[in-house]
């Protein structure tokens, strides 16, 4: 397994130079203390924790896995100790509000810390990771008593949180769920049902686990309109905040999985467990979207994390592994062969990883900043940022995880046969990365959300909100490298959206058949926007003699690779998305035989 080394220079470039975080946060009430010096210091300390504490547990945790017994789930050796250190250092509270026991730093800082921790050990990060969504859900929808009882403990990491949606017969279609919530005389509810695929549903790392559970009230209407949301703690909480008796919620088993084996994915039984309604009755799905959007951005970070770790390993190996001679003559004449990094095909693979990873980092940090503007900006700023997040979140979740998985697979390819062997750790990265395209809404679900709800459903308004940013950038940098190409792609993106929208009005299957290709096309153009921005900035820094010339030159070269080698993938995506629904839907079901 590659030892994790945080890409601090690139993190600093995106955070401080490209996105000018200090400048932004000085304008947002409550975030004024987020200076560049403080943010850099936090990132450096987070890097040390990721590199020295979490990374050494990554491969051993995969090999050991979790252990189930009737008493509960035990995590791999070292995981609980690492979590205690994480809590003692204050990391869970970093981006939470001061009123709830947090440190009041921007959401961006939490995203950066999660990227580093997740790259070092994604399975470990799953345990504290879902708590952020639970916190935001209770912050936004909980009553005063619920906030007092649960928030501080969750914020400070003494307790962790989960999201309990999926049942054996329903995944993305939550309208089919059967878990029941029966009102009790004391105002609580008895929750009965079984949930599956519950990440960190049980473990030995925190003293209590707060489950956020979807269930139906007795008089609830059918479908998604009849779902309510409940807080169901593992241990009931007394009025004074102390832990009471064990609640009737247990882990029946843990899944045997392809990857992230050190993360306990649980089957959870609720046997009349005491729960508390959060938010209005029958509006649970609406409340859950607070949790889901947070989780989707967190999942997008997984794509970035696995891509980064695979690139770290592949680059190191390519510099050391000797095989054959360069086509243009020996580059290592004193050795028996040249390092494989001299070969064009290996360069193609490494640059693909680098372009996806660094472009995705810029994209996702930008999304995190939008979340901070939603939280702390004025009404007009918050509305504009929220609209941008609505459009870009499905692209971020799906495109970054798809390309992150591609980057992980490339890592195996660079290693050749060694990549297929467990001891090198590259195959683990692929196994761990595969789930990212499935949970929090598959790529197909995200694509339907993007095209159907966000683009067509808004009459193109949300898309125009983002393309106007591209227009502003192009106008401000007219004549700069990549700008004309970016502008042409922006125009084509709008034209394709209109064509597909018109076709979908005649036949809704036209949207469904085009959706995934449309999302991937949108992702490539979105990353092109960020690569163009990075290239313009890098060229300016070089001209100013700002120092670190090699770093900025590498940015320019990677941008050229992206525009010339990766962005052209949109040509085939355009053709397939416009090919129509007939080639998918005309075959009768009976002919799907083998």
Distance (Å, rounded) from C-alpha 564 to C-alpha 572?
15
Distance (Å, rounded) from C-alpha 367 to C-alpha 114?
14
Instruction: Kindly state the tokens that stand for 14.
Output: 């995106």
Residue 319 has pLDDT above 90, yes or no: yes
Distance (Å, rounded) from C-alpha 310 to C-alpha 94?
28
Residue 287 has pLDDT above 90, yes or no: no
Centre a 10 Å sphere on the Cβ of residue 226 and count the other Cβ atoms it contains: 17
Centre a 10 Å sphere on the Cβ of residue 86 and count the other Cβ atoms it contains: 22
pLDDT of residue 479: 97
pLDDT in tens, 97-129: 999 999 999 999 999 999 999 999 999 999 999
* Residues forming beta bridges with residue 254, ordered by sequence position: 266
pLDDT of residue 455: 98
Query: Catalytic site residue 440?
Result: yes
- Contacts of residue 14, Cβ cutoff 8 Å, sequence gap at least 6: 361, 362, 365
pLDDT in tens, 328-377: 999 999 999 999 999 999 999 999 999 999 999 999 999 999 999 999 99
Residue 286 has pLDDT above 80, yes or no: yes
pLDDT band at 290 (very low <50, low <70, confident <90, very high): low
pLDDT of residue 296: 84
Q: Which of 167, 402, 440, 510 is catalytic?
A: 440
Angle subtended by helix axes 570-577 and 509-544, to nearest 10: 160
> Any idea of the CA torsion for 35, 38, 39, 42, to the nearest 10 degrees?
-170
The sign of the torsion formed by the CA atoms of 500, 519, 488, 529 equals: positive
């Amino acid at each position: 397994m590659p030892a994790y080394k945080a890409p601090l220079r690139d993190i600093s470039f995106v955070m401080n130079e490209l996105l000018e975080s200090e400048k932004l946060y000085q304008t947002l009430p409550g975030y004024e203390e987020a200076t560049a010096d403080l943010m850099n210091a936090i990132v450096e300390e987070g890097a040390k924790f990721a590199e020295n504490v979490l990374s050494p547990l990554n491969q051993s945790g995969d090999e050991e896995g979790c252990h189930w017994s009737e008493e509960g789930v035990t995590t791999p050796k070292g995981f609980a100790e690492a979590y205690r250190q994480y809590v003692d250092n204050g990391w869970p509270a970093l981006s939470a509000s001061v009123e709830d026991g947090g440190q009041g730093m921007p959401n961006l800082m939490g995203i950066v810390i999660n990227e580093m921790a997740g790259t070092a050990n994604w399975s470990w990060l799953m345990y504290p990771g879902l708590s952020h969504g639970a916190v935001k859900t209770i912050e936004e929808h909980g009553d005063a008593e619920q906030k007092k009882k649960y928030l501080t403990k969750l914020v400070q990491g003494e307790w962790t949180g989960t999201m309990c949606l999926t049942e054996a017969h329903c995944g993305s279609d939550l309208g089919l769920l059967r878990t029941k919530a029966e009102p009790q005389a004391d105002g609580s509810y008895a929750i009965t049902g079984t949930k599956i695929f519950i990440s960190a549903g049980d473990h030995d790392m925190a003293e209590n686990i707060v489950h956020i559970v979807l269930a139906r009230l007795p008089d609830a209407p059918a479908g998604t309109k009849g779902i309510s949301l409940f807080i169901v703690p593992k241990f009931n909480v007394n009025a004074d905040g102390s832990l009471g008796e064990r609640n009737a919620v247990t882990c029946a088993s843990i899944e045997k999985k392809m990857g992230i084996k050190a993360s306990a994915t649980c089957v959870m039984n609720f046997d009349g467990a005491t729960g508390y309604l959060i938010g209005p009755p029958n509006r649970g799905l609406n409340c859950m979207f607070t949790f889901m959007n947070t989780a989707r951005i967190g999942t997008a970070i997984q794509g970035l994390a696995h891509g980064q770790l695979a690139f770290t390993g592949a680059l190191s190996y390519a510099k050391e592994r000797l095989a054959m001679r360069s086509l243009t003559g020996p580059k290592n004449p004193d050795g028996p062969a040249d390092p494989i990094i001299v070969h064009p095909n290996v360069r193609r693979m490494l640059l693909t990883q680098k372009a996806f990873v660094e472009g995705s980092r810029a994209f996702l940090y930008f999304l995190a900043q939008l979340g901070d503007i939603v939280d702390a900006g004025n009404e007009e700023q918050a509305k504009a940022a929220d609209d941008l997040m609505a459009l870009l979140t499905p692209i971020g979740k799906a495109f970054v995880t798809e390309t992150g998985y591609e980057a992980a697979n490339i890592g195996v390819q660079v290693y050749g046969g060694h990549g297929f062997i467990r001891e090198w750790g590259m195959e683990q990265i692929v196994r761990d990365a595969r789930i990212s395209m499935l949970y929090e809404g598959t790529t197909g679900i995200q694509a339907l959300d993007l095209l159907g709800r966000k683009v067509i459903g808004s009459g193109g308004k949300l898309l125009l909100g983002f393309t106007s940013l591209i227009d502003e950038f192009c106008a401000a940098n007219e004549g700069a490298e990549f700008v004309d190409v970016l502008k042409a792609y922006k125009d084509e993106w709008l034209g394709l959206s209109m064509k597909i929208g018109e076709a979908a009005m005649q036949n809704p299957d036209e949207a469904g058949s085009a959706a995934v290709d449309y999302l991937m096309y949108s992702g490539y153009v979105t990353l092109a926007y960020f690569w163009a921005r990075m290239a313009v900035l890098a060229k300016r820094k070089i001209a100013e003699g700002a120092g670190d010339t090699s770093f900025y030159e590498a940015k320019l070269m990677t941008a050229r690779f992206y525009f010339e080698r990766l962005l052209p993938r949109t040509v085939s995506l355009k053709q397939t998305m416009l090919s129509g629904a007939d080639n998918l839907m005309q075959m009768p079901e009976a002919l799907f035989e083998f």
